[in-house]
Amino acid sequence: MKRTFAIGDIHGGLKALLQVLNALEITAEDTVIFMGDYVDGWSESAQVLDFLIAFSEKINCIFIKGNHDVWCEEWLHTAAANPTWYLHGGKETIASYDGFSTEEKQQHITFLKSMPLYHLDPENRLFLHAGFTSMHGVERELFKGNFYFDRTLWEMALAMDGSIDKDHATYPKRLQHYKEIYIGHTPTTNFGETIPMNAANIWNVDTGAAFTGKVTAMNIETKAYFQSDALPSLYPNEKGRN
Ligand SMILES: [Mn+2]
């Protein structure tokens, strides 16, 4: 049986990622779509990237690029740390690269560079880190940074509150293009939830791993989900991005 999983933000929490992958009992038949933000937060950012590079040699993976991955790539490439990034996990990510060789860093740059900003599967399901704004769909997005920074897609879906049918004239055009949309980026813990959230046809699988939450993997056919322990319990001597 072929399964496809969407895995939400990881933010340097390698222990949490391993818990989730072990629970899934992944086989070579499965596909794993990672929603981005591999780095920044807990102490194992470089190690998460190392693990994912090795994992993708055995398992079908798609790695969407998140805003934190963009910042990390910039730093690896230029050695200049964006000040905003430094305060939002960059400092911990830089520390995680202690002892890494130039060649190892170059391999991470290549990996990060290869990441798409969105993925559309054959069943018209869209996967992206944050959102988009064009009513014509992702191909017509003017500012590519929206794919990893936008929060208005999710905000709009939450505000609809299930009140409009998909064929209604006022149903947002942005949502009509896709069967389902999977996102990360905006933690569900911001809304008091520790599990994935669904609004309109969007599934948000960022369950706050950077902060007090967990890493989540969702089976996109069945919507069954698997979660790690809460990250602060896995890294008791750290603060994450709090
Ligand atoms: Mn994130």
User: How far, CA to CA in Å, does 43 sit from each of 74, 81, 94, 162?
Assistant: 19, 17, 10, 39
Query: 88 alpha carbon to ligand 1 midpoint, in Å?
Result: 10
In the chain, the amino acid numbered 121 is D
pLDDT tens for 123-154 read 999 999 999 999 999 999 999 999 999 999 99
C-alpha span between 79 and 191 (Å, rounded): 36
The percentage of residues in the chain with a pLDDT greater than 70, rounded to a whole number, is 100
Sign of the CA dihedral with 229 first, then 235, 239, and 241 last: negative
pLDDT tens for 88-104 read 999 999 999 999 999 99
Q: What residue spans define the domains of the chain?
A: 4-234
Band of residue 164 on the pLDDT scale cut at 50, 70, 90: confident
**pTM for this structure?**
0.97
Query: 135 alpha carbon to ligand 1 midpoint, in Å?
Result: 24
Kindly state the average pLDDT of the residues 222-240.
Answer: 97
**Looking at residue 235, what DSSP letter applies?**
S
* Helices and strands: H and E segment counts in the chain: 10, 10
pLDDT tens for 14-59 read 999 999 999 999 999 999 999 999 999 999 999 999 999 999 999 9
Query: 208 alpha carbon to ligand 1 midpoint, in Å?
Result: 8
Taking a C-beta distance cutoff of 8 angstroms, is the pair 60, 67 a contact? no
Query: 5 alpha carbon to ligand 1 midpoint, in Å?
Result: 18
Query: 143 alpha carbon to ligand 1 midpoint, in Å?
Result: 19
Query: 1 alpha carbon to ligand 1 midpoint, in Å?
Result: 31
- Beta-strand ranges (E) seen in 133-221 are 180-183, 197-199, 202-204, 216-219
Under CATH, which architecture does the 4-234 domain have?
A: 4-Layer Sandwich (3.60)
Query: 242 alpha carbon to ligand 1 midpoint, in Å?
Result: 13
Query: 58 alpha carbon to ligand 1 midpoint, in Å?
Result: 26
pLDDT tens for 196-206 read 999 999 999 99
Query: 102 alpha carbon to ligand 1 midpoint, in Å?
Result: 26
Query: 18 alpha carbon to ligand 1 midpoint, in Å?
Result: 18
C-alpha span between 46 and 188 (Å, rounded): 25
Query: 184 alpha carbon to ligand 1 midpoint, in Å?
Result: 7
pLDDT at 1 over 90: no
C-alpha span between 53 and 219 (Å, rounded): 22
